[in-house]
Structure 1
């Protein structure tokens, strides 16, 4: 059965609209001016824009390609979803180093002069290695602010995504491209602001069945709730994704379930598997939102901070 987003009589909170802008033409001189950016407590210095960058997972890759930087990429890895249509052709020309994270040896064999990831797990010892070790080899390693190991608890603001785009534009000497992409994202966020009603409660259901993982106040989903003007059913949980129980969810009785459609194939990952489970579960099936089919489906990738995320709040 085809999954559709249904919320009759309520405000449309989320859509599956594609995100990201078409890659700009490669029309600027990479330049040679030295520059620095800050990343998770490290100052990354560049005598000139990198020419052999490796993006360690899909979100980083899509930001680079949306800035027209395919010709500066020596590799990519860890693709979890089909690449955005507007950058698919550019992606096809970038070497894929590994299905998931490349091992340190595979990464270094690509002779990178810059690495970039939106998840700290890319820099684990059994993956690319620590950022400090890479820096010692002369390879600056950028990590997204939302994944900083010492990040204080709290919502992930869209502003951090926009700053990341700005940083990457600075690193590669294409600030005008970054500014254009940031402006596009800001305009889309402004158009989405306040498109729902505050009394509506939303349960952001990410994964799991016996123990459902639901959005708390410490991640991007919390910010999405604020942008569109709905109440996060678990806004009192400090985590980005908290472990809930069906009894507690029943007590909170959310008006709408937002279902992350994940492609990794685990228990309760796909949106359809979530719907099937909810309709069969003795407690969840009695919830009004489940009985009425008040489900809104979003790609799981939009709930990780990226250029795709704005599409999850567009009316």
Structure 2
């Protein structure tokens, strides 16, 4: 649908192309992405329930983990259901209104930025636990955890405010086809008939601030952790200390690796099809893998899952 004002056609609805090159295998891709989405929901819900019900996991580290699991359920739900509707040809499945497109972009950016800040808060928690164990209770109290979590959500919410406001001021006069499976910033700006220089600059600066600020906290935290591990005399103590942050470090590596590659790259290296693949990885694959990483690399979570689902073979591991 389009409205006509001042001899210009104002776009009020967009069409998302999605994965147009896989039309012959659309049912296969629909099944694959639906399976991954359902696994993401089940795995993250399982983590939330286990942490809430098991008293042995009532600690700051797992408090942040429940926030991360909640976030990833919403993170995938912002894009995947609409993408699935497009695969099976649901009426209007590939169409999205102008307001809906901006809302999807806002929510996706908000949740992605919040995840960056949450991972930084979790890194700080591990740093205090390993490097200052005697002061852990004072430095990472429940009150501190609540304030840190609230700050992560608030900073994440504020992150897309300026970019979305600037985008809302643009004129879209056609075409209205977004070459992506969700309303991402770059393909949306490519459709505008206004000057998008300010928007692109704001997007890059905001992305860099979020990524650099959160990754700096993570890098400093793990730098201190490594320094502490190197000065531990006992190899057993080193292994025990490292095991408490191995899952988080793996999750951080996956998430930040794809984000830095996606958003801090040159235009020469850009490819729409390749960007879609990378987007699938950090928006669908990573949220599905994170609960598995935490459950497989963390003995306490494995034990709690075993107790919750009466899997005796997991107990005592």
TM-score range, shorter chain: under 0.3
The structure having more radius of gyration, on CA atoms, is 2
More helix by share: 2
More strand by share: 1
Q: TM-score, normalised by structure 2?
A: 0.26
Q: TM-score, normalised by structure 1?
A: 0.27
